[in-house]
Every structure is written in C-alpha cells, then in structure tokens.
Amino acid sequence: MPSRVPAGETRGWIVPIGGAENKENDRRILARFVAVSGGDAADIVVIPTASRLHETGARYERLFGELGAARVAVMDFDTRRDCHEAGRLQRLEEATGIFFTGGNQLRLTTLLGGTPVAKLIRARNAHGVTVGGTSAGASILSEHMIAFGDDGASAISGSVRLAPGLGLTNRFVIDQHFRQRDRLGRLLTALAYNPFAVGIGLDEDTAAFIGPDNVLEVEGSGGVTVVDASEVSFTSMDIVDEGQPICMLGLKLHLLVAGATYNLHTRIAAAGALRPDKE
C-alpha cells in the first residue's frame, strides 16, 4: 500500500517514462527529472536492476551528471539480501531522486518486492522524494503492475497478467512503449480487472510528470493515452471465457501530448499549456 504522507508534508513527484527517452539531442525528460529532484542540488540514485546490461547504470549516471545533478550514484541489486544492507538504505535516505532503468519489471519485483528497500522508497516518496523510471522502471511504480500481456488493440480475457508493483500509488496502472507496440488492448484488459484505477499508456520518449497535487503533465515528443473506467456501466469480464473479447461500456479516453494535463483526483483532462502553432 502507498505510504501515508505525513501532516504538513507533500508527496514527491512520480515520473513514469514510456521508454526510449531521448538521451542525445533533446534530453528534456531527463532534464526535467533532475529539476524536480532538486536541480543543481539533486542527489540521484539510479537503480539498473531491471536491466542485465552492465553499462545501463553507468550511462544514466553520466547523463544525470551532464544535466547538472550535484551527485549521482548507481545502486544495483543482485539478491534480496542486498536489500537489507544498512549502507544501501542510508544512501537511499540521502537521495532527492530515485530512478529505475528499463529491462524486465518482474526482475525488479522479485528482487525488491516486500524488502526494506521497497518500503523505504515508498516512505521517501511520501516525504517528498522524486521517484521515476523508464519502460519496466515505469511499470513498477504503481500498486498494480502489468507483468506481461499480448499486444493488439482488443481487450481479450486472459491476455494480460497483473502483479504487485512498488506501490507508490494505487491511482493508476501504467503501460509503456504504448503506441509503438500496440498495447491498448492489454491496458483495457487490465482495467476490466480493476476499474478503479486510471489507465496510463505512455508512448516512447514521453513521460507523465505527476505532481504532489496528483495532476499529471505530459512531457516529451509522443503522447499519453489516458483511459478512465470509473463510469463503466457494464463489463463482461466475469462471464467470458479466456481468449474471448471483452465488452466494456462507458469507458472514457483522452489523448494527451506535451503540455496537456490530467487530474488523477477529479479525473478531468485539460489542454494546459498546449497551443496551436501560429505562422
């Protein structure tokens, strides 16, 4: 469950990124992550555990350093025993921003789930620390996580498997590489299981910056698909056989691009800073 925000304090930013964020020419997503983590005073811990590529952590360490963070450290976890080490917990206590790289989200949950590290990250976010991640590192942030599923536009019973995520919030379910891998169907199927949550589909090079006020703002070159199932009047999920299409009535869908916003509390979308181009 999400940690309770102490009286007089505000929750930190939650920043899921759809994967393949621009790391060379236009690094605005990563630059903004540094900004909401403290700017030139940012102290960022990179957790590359989802990836099996040894260079992943070092690459983000270099990128965040180039973008002006005061201090960056890489903290990998090879066993659940690592999650009990006092030195690692102390380093996370010092961080103003925590970033999960891409890879395999089930590797993250099996190594970190239920450990002191997972509990501490939830608590630090409740005390104002920014927590974000890209691709698999985005999926893990919510309480309900898409572990794996079938691509395609149709909602199909049994086509997606959910698992417990890190649990920073229970307000949304994340899917990433959304338009590039045609994942609308599996997000809809996840919402058929759990209509309470808001579905957030993140395109590549696109992020949802979710502030302490639970307002989501889009950053990046792609789009964010928001699916609100709170007013669903009927779903056939409980009566169809596995492999069969699901009927859902009353879904609300928003397509957001950079500058547009969505309030996760009121469930109202707005164009925000978005303006038409002028000649």
Q: Would you name the residues annotated as active-site residues?
A: 135, 177, 204
Contact 15/209 with Cβ under 8 angstroms? yes
d(CA 260, CA 268): 11
Q: What is Dmax (Cα atoms) for the chain?
A: 59
Pair 244, 157: CB distance under 8 Å:
yes
Instruction: Determine the Cα angle at 221 with ends 216 and 222, to 5°.
Output: 70
**Exposed/middle/buried for residue 173 (C-beta within 10 Å: 0-12, 13-18, 19+):** buried
* Residues 6+ positions from 55 with CB-CB distance below 8 Å: none
- Note the residue count of the chain: 279
